[in-house]
Amino acid sequence: MLIVDVDKCIGCGVCEANCTFGAITVEDGIAVVADTCTLCGSCVDTCEVEALHIEGAEKTVQADLSAWSGIWIFAESRHGVIAPVAFELLGIGRKLADQRGVELTAVLFGSGLADSAGDLIASGADKVLLADHPELAQYREDVFGRVLEQLVKEYKPEVLLAGATAIGRSVIPQVATLMGAGLTADCTGLAIREEDGMLLQTRPAFGGNIMATIECPHSRPQMATVRPNVMAPGEVDPDRNGTVVAVELSDELLDSRVQVLETVINEDEQVNIQEIEVLIAGGRGVESEKGFDLIQELAAELNGAVAASRAAVDAGWISYPHQVGQTGKTVCPKLYIACGISGAIQHAVGMQSAETVVAINRDENAPIFDLATFGLVGDLFEIVPLLTKKIKEQRGS
């Protein structure tokens, strides 16, 4: 709750002017807080007379921040295979570690993964902390969180990064809470500030309309999840040297309240649109599940896969794993053909790094044309079948 100290408040209105949510008004010379307050804290920082504070959010400065050193990445794996995002984290992690002049460590949990540790070293890690145990074969949040917390307490890394994937988003907040550390979710940029070595964590905010750079000056480790497909993977050098340290695991650490009965692969997730070079995306303009047959035909002809806007997913025409954008996946294919998609900012943030964008839209003013390499103004129900036919003909000849 945002508390106004009426003895200190001078009714200057700075908080009112700074509140993006319009949640503060000055009435009779005193700031008054409405229910719409999101506790973002920006008014607290701007109040020169320190009349505002958020109850329970007083800053506690951890003792001896300098005792924390080294960059860590959480190398996620599934079914014995290291996730591509782990190699992207090694790419950015290597840069950060070199800038700080510290070691880059990959933390790898699983069963039978000893051979994979070498891949992490070849891609940039100086050290791999390997927790290899049959009990870690399946992801269980409580066990992974506990083991990671123990390692963080023992080794004291200054930075801990994980992929903004289902697993990363579940294990990392748990560790941040246990450590009382800050966490920035879904980063698209990371850098070190030269003057003091602070990790600058950049992510889209306010619906993707601004980029916010966040720092955690009072606690360690500085923790962030990073969007897959945004960072370049580390360069592979099979001759790189590094050390693999086996993590000791007590029964107590491995004890879990979760029992995994079965793991089922979602048919829809068989195709990971983040790893495909050609994507044909459909939006509200596709009009129905049936309309997506046209999109599917073009995708098949180009050896690509089908993607979608949130409007199409929300309408139930296609399932969520196909969604591109702020609350979907970030993709960077060689070719992205957007059919009946307006190009809202929340969609654009997920596809704007595609190499070539082709937009098909009957509204010549649709924002998607600002991102497009080639634009086709017209009805997708005419253009898409024509395009598919032409490609078929070309292939045939």
Ligand X SMILES: Cc1cc2nc3c(=O)[nH]c(=O)nc-3n(C[C@H](O)[C@H](O)[C@H](O)COP(=O)(O)OP(=O)(O)OC[C@H]3O[C@@H](n4cnc5c(N)ncnc54)[C@H](O)[C@@H]3O)c2cc1C
Positions in the binding site for ligand X (CB under 6 A): 207, 283-285, 309-312, 323-328, 340-342, 344, 346-347, 350, 360-363, 366, 379-381
Looking at beta carbons only, is 259 or 365 nearer to ligand X?
A: 365
The C-alpha atoms of residue 392 and residue 171 are separated, in whole angstroms, by 47
The C-alpha atoms of residue 297 and residue 305 are separated, in whole angstroms, by 10
Q: How far is the CB of 266 from ligand X (least distance, A)?
A: 19
Looking at beta carbons only, is 124 or 325 nearer to ligand X?
A: 325
Q: How far is the CB of 339 from ligand X (least distance, A)?
A: 7
Q: How far is the CB of 357 from ligand X (least distance, A)?
A: 14
Q: Detail the DSSP E strand segments found in 76-147.
A: 77-78, 81-82, 104-110, 127-132
**Percentage helix, strand, coil, to 5, in the chain?**
35, 25, 40
Q: How far is the CB of 291 from ligand X (least distance, A)?
A: 9
Looking at beta carbons only, is 47 or 338 nearer to ligand X?
A: 338
Dihedral sign from CA coordinates of 230, 231, 232, 235: negative
Looking at beta carbons only, is 146 or 310 nearer to ligand X?
A: 310
Q: How far is the CB of 257 from ligand X (least distance, A)?
A: 33
Q: How far is the CB of 190 from ligand X (least distance, A)?
A: 22
Looking at beta carbons only, is 27 or 314 nearer to ligand X?
A: 314
The C-alpha atoms of residue 336 and residue 281 are separated, in whole angstroms, by 7
Dihedral sign from CA coordinates of 155, 234, 173, 263: negative
| Neighbour count for residue 323 (Cβ, 10 Å) | 23
- 376, 377, 380, 384 alpha-carbon torsion, rounded to 10°: -20
The CB-based long-range contact list for 292-296 (8 Å cut-off, 24+ gap) reads 292/317, 292/318, 294/339, 294/380, 294/381, 294/384, 294/385, 294/388, 295/339, 295/384
> Which residues lie below 8 Å from residue 297, measured CB to CB, with a gap of 6+?
384, 385, 388
Number of H helices, E strands in the chain: 12, 21
Q: How far is the CB of 315 from ligand X (least distance, A)?
A: 9
Looking at beta carbons only, is 107 or 164 nearer to ligand X?
A: 164
List beta partners, residue 104: 71
Looking at beta carbons only, is 140 or 322 nearer to ligand X?
A: 322
